Amino acid sequence: MMTLKVNGREHQVGADPDTPLLYVLRDDLKLNAAKFGCGLGQCGSCAVIVDGKAVLSCITPMVLLEGKQVTTLEGLGSVSEPAPIQRAFIEEQAAQCGYCIPGMMMRAQALLLKNSKPTDAEIRAALEQHLCRCGTHMRILRAVRRAARLMETTDASSTANRSAQ
Amino acid sequence: MNAPLILNRRRVLAGGGALIVSFSLTNAFAQDQAPAATPPLRRPGSLATTPYLDSWIRIDADGSITVFTGKAELGQGFRTAFQQITAEELDLPFESLEVITADTKLTANEGYTAGSRSMQDSGAAIQNAAAQVRELLVAEAAKRLDLPAENLRTENGAVISPDGRRLSYGELVAADMLHVQAQPKSRLKDPATLKVMGQSVPRVDIPAKVTGGAAYVQDMRLPGMVHARVVRPPSYGAQLTECDSSAVEKLPGVVKVVRDGNFLAVVAEKEFQAIKAMNALSLAAKWKESASLPKQDDLLNVLTHLPSQDFTILERGDPSVLSSKSIEAIYTRPYQLHGSIGPSCAVAQFADETMTVWTHTQGVYPDRQAIAEMLRMPPANVRLIHVEGSGCYGHNGADDAAADAALIARALPGRAVRVQWMREQEHAWEPFGPAMVTKLNASLDSNGKIAAWHFEVFSNTHSMRPGGAGALLAAQHMTQSFAVPEPKPLPLPEGGGDRNAIPIHTLPSARVVHHFIPAMPLRISALRALGAYHNVFSIESFMDELAGLAGADPVEFRLKHLDDVRGREVIEKAAQGFGWKRNVRPADRGHGFAFARYKNLAAYCAVASELEVNRETGRPRLVRAVAAVDAGQVVNPDGLINQIEGAILQSMSWTLYESVTFDDTRITSVDWQTYPILRFDAVPESVEVHIINRPGQPFLGSGETAQGPAAASIANAIANATGKRLRDLPLTRKRIKQAIDA
Amino acid sequence: MPSRANEVGISVFKARSNNKFKSMNMTRSSRLIASGIAVVLIAGAAMAFAIVWRPVIPAIDPPAPHAFDPALIKRGRDLAAIGNCNECHTVRGGKNFAGGLPVPTPFGTIYSSNITPDAETGIGQWSEAAFRRAMRDGVNRKGEHLYPTFPYDHFTHVSDEDDRALYAFLMTRQPVHAPSRENQISFPLNQRPVIAGWKLLFLRRDSYQPDATKSAEWNRGAYLVEGLAHCGACHTPRNVLGAERKSAQFAGGDVDNWLAYALNDRSHAPVPWDADALYMYLRSGWHPAHGTARGPMAQVVSNLSSVSDSDVRAIAVYMADISGAPTPERKQEGEAALAQARSPSQASQTDTVGATIYVGACASCHETSRPLPYGGVNLALSTAVSSPDPRNLANVVLSGVSAVEGERSPIMPGFADSMDDAQMAALLNYLRARFSKQPAWIGVEKTVAEARRAVTIYHETSAGPRNAPADPTQRDKP
């Protein structure tokens, strides 16, 4: 048994220490956001935040997480109280199938935590190891820029309908 | 998972509304009877095959309203669009509706969710059904209130009389009131008064997807569910000669090893235990392989030398037009992947003699048929429920994963079994988009107009979707195996390998031949846009070559050969949005243009692009793309824009980077190292989409409309930037560099 | 008129700096030593004024691209690839050959120059004679001495004919207006006559003399390796004045916080190299018994993938001779390493933290049956694990191997953000113990911490994926 801190709560987890975090999150803690995409650290779908940095949970064994703070997309906000990054992705309608999006959002959140005003090049560089197959890239970039703006302002305006373009 | 999902379905199953009797009658009809004879006037969309109104819309006595579609939400966002359509035609609040998607127990049989047809088929059916339901409700209210129907109006889920009396839909609906066949014509809302349709309503599925809600079949967790992994053969046709699984069976958490001929799988309590056991099992398995694959480097000769069935699909001649000069060219496309980011997944449970499979298949009914045949069970005892998966872009591993889950679940009665493929399995075993070869030659008359056009396309079928069990990997691999069904060309006008092979242009003489190749050296099936991707790439590249021969501007040259008014407007809109100017381009950059009407009967799309080529490395960089699209009446403009943006970027990835690789025995592109796709570094600076809305016109599918034009637009921009024409997909950095250096 | 700043620092080659002497944290004693030496050199330079002074070569009007023979340009392209010119003269995402890459040296930061034919900021006004003098003597058109970061101690051996081809190639590139950035070198080393003194000590201007006892292929290889390819610039250790130590040629050197491995008989490769293996590695970027080129070597093999087979073969033949035939003992060790790599996985043993990390984070790629270059090398074959210095292994584990846009290329995720220094040290120590016959490393945690700091700087200055095409297995395929 080891103690795993996820989204501010401590969990006693019985998984072997070599088990990658992804399976503990999905199987033991019943969290959906981190996705299995490749299991090889090649696509980014499984990204979560550990101690403020984005890591790929499919190749992060439990042994590395003793005493660390894991944050998943569920820990940022909810449908009723979305975090700025979630609001930004909803407002930009930045998803098609959406499978890669949670990983993208965690990477973006980690970037914005250390750099509140990233340039476009910095956003692209941060997302470079994340793959999207639907071609939602333009919206993802817009959503990250919007999240940066939202995080700056305290104004929490609602997720109103976007008007037609 | 997925408590909400299951609860919703249970509620629906339990019924309790006024229409339950008629509903199940309809349900029986939808599943088991042949469609009614076609009435003299065809009913719109899928009403033609499923005419009863209550197959589409259900109103409970408590006023709750449910829309049923036999189509599967694949991330295109039509769940939202259908909700908009129903809210509009029935005068309901958008939020009050629920949409139930493909489920063999609940929804109409709408075949496959494919070919950009969801709006044309299901959208049109729902729109007309909703309009007719509204008329029935108004008629009922008129009867009860003893007022002429034209004096009544509908608002917010109720019929309202001029004196303010209000009868809610729930009150009005009676036992089998909606169990009537739809009329061929409906009184639809006046396009000028639309309130919900035509608005960019935010998609209903996105909030759950961005907050960790249960959104996918991959997220399902049923009580007592176990995890399975399949050990696939190392290559096509490999035979399992030896497999001592005793050590694997003793591994922690392992519940069962399932073997049936060449089908091998392991089940464990937890997912990572299943993966570890799968690794151990694949080490224990010994296979006999045979070298059966063609030469990857020589697909042109491989394809053009395989036996083919030849169909002349267009033959037109005008001897009065004389040719002065002509050119010819050959274009090729390799095998390409769907490449879902989430490997295919399914959950199955065998209980009470019934097999239930939750799957992201594109066709619950045909896949049910195939799985029932594989299990040798009556189809009535097999239920397939669509749950969204990772985007599939055509026929990927979804149906196979569903079959895997069903076969394993049968070996563990009572227990829910979740199977997910590994990345390497998805890459190696999904049915690829078929390789293609096109041969073109054309001549110009003395005025620089096309005099004669010859086009030949060589390709496999573009659909090996299940119908019979033989299409499923598990069924092919089991001891009492099923043979792969005989491939058939898909019929025109939609076509398969010949989709969009017939030019939309005005040409005095034209001949188009489809060489259908039955033999399939690699496992293939439908990939988004089917043959249209390569055919449009070829035709629209060749149009630029001809424009060059004529010394004409590519946009002007296209307009000169197109009479279709809507097509012309789309071309003009894209050119204008892009700022197209003849012979003006920045240094080291090229401008490209291309246009097509998908299937020659769906949406129109033109794409202009600006692309930079690094002359030292050959690396192309798409700087910006501007598209114009006419998809008929637009229900959700932002949803349409999202689809077109996505199609352009996906096509860019196919066009610049992608090809399946293989040696003489095995597929060697088995992950994202060996099958690279678009990354953010290469994402354009901007992609603009201009919509030409056509209120009152039929919905035209759009999800596959931009792939062909985007590919040709990029190829034309490369040619414009470098002066070199590349005709073999993908247009890789290496090929561009070779062309520059040559 | 171009400013003086624009004229300085024509072509500089990345100094293969000794890590201990990193410019950012140059120690006080090293400053003293450097200054002392400089004073001596200034004195020497003053005495040798005649050697120091070089005339201006008159400016020419930039020749039109069509003035050059296409065949000559093509040969120049291959030679430029062998010379790895783009590595230093193109910044990440920047214009080809426009310079501006900061090169940290023990003596300060030097910026690479614009070698496009732009008249004002590039070499557009250089005659072929001026170009040849720069290659041979390390002097720009204006007669100023160039810092030896531009490896003219190697380029001096390049033949007239090859210089002519290189000149033709560069003069037909796209001209880019990109003024040079001013070098950040402190007094007295910013005095260019000092460089003349350096040359007096270390520059041997001689053309390549063939060795009649060796094959033509060997001689071709030697000419390329010692000259244009300047392999020793990275793989030979340098003395305190930054010159290659000829007595320790190819004994391993430092570059960008990487150890450029020893290529002579002191090589720590678990399996000894031979000409065939070197050829494949240089040609394709990987070899089944050695792994995949990464770090600064990735760009080198990427460039070599486009040059003629015979030249790559010649380089391999010469380098194999440099490393010499392995002793029977070395051969045996090599066989043992290959056997260990083939043996079934022991990945289930997780008695230590390092082993557990390995199983959870590494084994899924490094212990599968998948062949290289995509399967991940079995670490029993890794030179990084057997190397006397854990730096390269730390670098790879920290940064991984990035995907190259649109190219088939090995990908390894970096672990900088998921492992702290102690965890990574535990992993590295485990790998050393399990996969190498060499004694345990000392101070691994400190190495990891230093590598972590350096990695950030490296990422900001290195040529990025866009400029590093690498397609190790699919050279002739789509």
C419 and A64: CB-CB below 8 Å? Answer: yes
Phi, psi (5° rounding) for residue B186?
Answer: -125, 155
Please tell me if residue A124 touches chain B, with a CB cutoff of 8 Å.
yes
Bridge partners of residue A3, in order along the sequence:
A12
- Name the domain count of chain B: 3
Q: What is the pLDDT of residues C397-443, one digit of tens each?
A: 999 988 888 999 889 999 999 999 999 999 999 999 999 999 999 99
B-interface mutation test, from A58, A138, A139, A145, most B Cβ less than 10 A away? A138
A128 in contact with C, Cβ within 8 Å: yes
Segments in chain B below pLDDT 50: 1-39
CA nearest to B94, candidates C136, C423, A135, A161: A161
Give dist(CA B544, CA B450) in Å, integer. 12
Tell me the C-alpha to C-alpha distance, in Å, between residue C215 and each of B606, B655, C220, C229: 61, 47, 9, 19
- State how far the Cα of C335 lies from the Cα of C325, in Å rounded to an integer: 15
Name the E strands within C54-193: 102-105, 108-111, 184-185
- Indicate the angle between helix axes C70-83 and C160-171, nearest 10 degrees: 100
pLDDT in tens, B282-292: 999 999 999 99
Chains that touch B (3 or more CB pairs under 8 A): A, C
In this structure, the answer to whether residues B254 and B193 fall within a common structural domain is no
Q: How does pLDDT run across B413-459, given as a tens digit for each residue?
A: 999 999 999 999 999 999 999 999 999 999 999 999 999 999 999 99
Cis, bond preceding A17 (omega within 30 deg of 0): no
Asked whether residue B200 falls in the same domain as residue B221, the answer is no
CATH number of the domain residue B344 falls in? 3.30.365.10
Segment A45-53 shows an average pLDDT of 97
Domain assignment of residue B366, given as a range? 217-290+338-429
**Domain shared by B161 and B225, yes or no:** no
> Lowest mean pLDDT: which of A100-109, B409-418, B445-454, C23-32?
C23-32
What mean pLDDT is reported for chain C? 85
Torsion of CA C37, C41, C42, C44, to 10 degrees: 150
Q: What does the mean pLDDT of chain A come to?
A: 92
- CA distance from start to end of chain C: 48
Residues pairing with A6 in the sheet:
A9, A70
Among the candidates B161, B186, B209, a domain finishes at: B209
Contact A101 B209 (CB under 8 A): yes
C-alpha distance from residue B706 to each of B572, B598, B601, B651, B658 (Å): 16, 8, 14, 8, 17
Q: Give the single-character DSSP code of B607.
A: E
Q: Write the CA distances from B265 to B358, B411, B562, integer angstroms.
A: 19, 11, 56
Please report, to the nearest 10 degrees, the dihedral formed by the alpha carbons of residues B129, B133, B139, B143 taken in order.
150
DSSP code at position C413: -
Q: Could you tell me the two tokens for B269?
A: 């309590």
- Other beta carbons within 10 angstroms of residue C64's beta carbon come to 9
Look at residue B67 and give its three-state secondary structure. strand
Residue A40 has pLDDT above 50, yes or no: yes
- Residues β-bridged to residue B67: B57, B99
Query: In this structure, are B55 and B186 located in the same domain?
Result: yes
Domain boundary among B165, B187, B209: B209
Q: And the tokens for B606? A: 């033109």
Contacts with C20 (C-beta within 8 Å, 6 or more apart), sequence order: none
Query: What are the φ/ψ torsions at residue B381 (nearest 5 degrees)?
Result: -95, 5
Question: Does residue B142 sit in helix, strand or coil?
Answer: helix
Helix (H), strand (E), coil (C) string for C200-236 = HHHCCCCCCCCCCCCCHHHHHHHHHHHCCCCCHHHHC
Task: Evaluate whether residue B526 is within a structural domain.
Answer: no
β-strand pairing of A9-13 with A2-6 = antiparallel
Question: Is the same domain home to B633 and B681?
Answer: yes
Hey, what are C344's tokens? 């079934």
Domain with CATH 1.10.150.120 in chain A: 84-152
Is residue B671 a part of any domain in this protein?
Answer: yes
The number of helices, as runs of H, and strands, as runs of E, in chain B is 20, 24
For A84-152, the fitting CATH number among 1.10.150.120, 1.25.40.20, 3.90.79.10, 3.40.718.10 is 1.10.150.120
Share of chain C above pLDDT 70, in %: 83
**A122 and C CB contact within 8 Å:** no
Q: How confident is the model at residue C104 (pLDDT cuts 50, 70, 90)?
A: confident
Q: Looking at chain A from residue 33 to 52, which residues have their Cβ under 8 Å from any Cβ of chain B?
A: 33, 35-40, 42-43, 45
**Chain C residues 430-459 with CB within 8 Å of chain B:** none
Residue C351 has pLDDT above 80, yes or no: no
**Whole-number Å distance between alpha carbons of B702 and B635:** 12
List Cα–Cα distances, C336 to C199, C331, C436, C439, in angstroms.
47, 9, 11, 17
Cβ-Cβ contacts under 8 Å for B442 (sequence gap 6 or more): B326, B327, B328, B450, B451, B452, B453, B454, B542, B546
Please give the full DSSP string across A41-89, using - where no structure is assigned.
SSS-TTEEEETTEEEEGGG-BGGGGTT-EEE-HHHH--SSS--HHHHHH
Mutate to test the interface with C, among A22, A63, A137 (most CBs of C within 10 A): A63
Does the pLDDT of residue C393 top 90, yes or no?
yes
Alpha carbon B464 to its chain centroid, in Å, reads 14
Which pair of structure tokens corresponds to residue C136? Answer: 């041979």
Strand pairing partners for B332? B437, B728
Residue B357 lies in a domain: yes
Q: Which residue among A50, A128, A129 sits closest to C418, beta carbon to beta carbon?
A: A50
* A121 vs A127: CA distance, rounded Å: 10
CB-based contact B463:B507 (threshold 8 Å):
no
Residue B195, chain A, CB below 8 Å: the answer is no
Inter-residue contact B200 to B637 (CB < 8 Å): yes
Question: B726 near B719, Cβ under 8 Å?
Answer: yes
* Residue where the block lists tokens 């090996």: B464
User: Do both B627 and B702 map to the same domain?
Assistant: yes
Stretch C206-210: mean pLDDT: 86
Question: What ipTM goes with this model?
Answer: 0.93
Cα B156 from Cα B158, distance rounded (Å): 6
* Chain C neighbors (3+ CB pairs < 8 Å): A, B
Which distant-in-sequence residues (6+ apart) come within 8 Å of A81 by Cβ?
Answer: none
Contacts of C92 (CB under 8 A, 6+ apart): C461, C462, C463, C464, C466, C467
Suggest the residue from B211, B427, B623 to mutate for an interface test with chain A (most A CBs closer than 10 A). Answer: B211
For residue C80, the one-letter residue type is A
**pLDDT value at residue B668:** 95
The verdict on B74 and B166 lying in the same domain is yes
Taking 90 as the threshold, does the pLDDT of residue A161 lie above it? no
Band (pLDDT 50/70/90 cuts) for residue C44 is: low
- Chain A residues 79-118 with a CB less than 8 Å from chain B: 79, 82, 86, 89-90, 93, 95-102, 105
CB neighbours of residue B392 within 10 Å: 30
pLDDT attached to residue C24: 35
Judged by a CB distance cut-off of 8 A, whether residue B619 touches chain C is yes
Q: How confident is the model at residue A165 (pLDDT cuts 50, 70, 90)?
A: very low
Pick the CATH number of A2-75 from 3.40.50.11540, 3.40.50.720, 3.20.20.70, 3.10.20.30: 3.10.20.30
Q: In which element (H, E) is residue B267 found?
A: strand B263-268
Same domain, B200 and B231: no
CA distance C266 to chain B (A): 34
**Cα distances (Å, whole numbers) of residue C221 to B168, B187, C136, C231, C234:** 90, 84, 20, 11, 17
CA gap B395, B654 in Å, rounded? 16
Residue C6 pLDDT more than 80? no
Q: Does B485 map to a domain?
A: no
- Looking at the fold, whether B193 and B223 belong to one and the same domain comes out as no
Same domain flag for B199 and B257: no
* Largest separation between any pair of C-alpha atoms in chain B: 85
pLDDT of residue B675: 97
Enclosing H/E stretch for C165: helix C160-171
Question: Percentage helix, strand, coil, to 5, in chain A?
Answer: 40, 15, 45
CA B66 to chain centre: 25
Domains of chain C, earliest start first? 4-202 (no CATH), 216-323 (1.10.760), 343-467 (1.10.760.10)
pLDDT the model gives residue C282: 96
Q: Which tokens sit at B524?
A: 């293939």
Is B326 domain-assigned? no
Which pLDDT belongs to residue B690? 98
pLDDT of residue A3: 94
Residue B569 is predicted with a pLDDT of 98
- Closest Cα to residue B158, out of B30, B63, B252? B63
Last residue of a domain, which of B429, B464, B488? B429
Verify that B164 and B283 share a domain, yes or no. Answer: no
**Angle, helix B707-722 to helix B532-550, in steps of 10 degrees:** 40
Residue in A18, A53, A64 nearest the CB of C350: A18
In a domain, B556, yes or no: yes
| Residue C456 vs residue B14, higher pLDDT | C456
pLDDT over 90 at A142, yes or no: yes
Are B184 and B44 in contact by the 8 Å Cβ rule? The answer is yes
If pLDDT is split at 50, 70 and 90, which confidence band does A160 have? very low
**Same domain, residue pair B195 and B254:** no
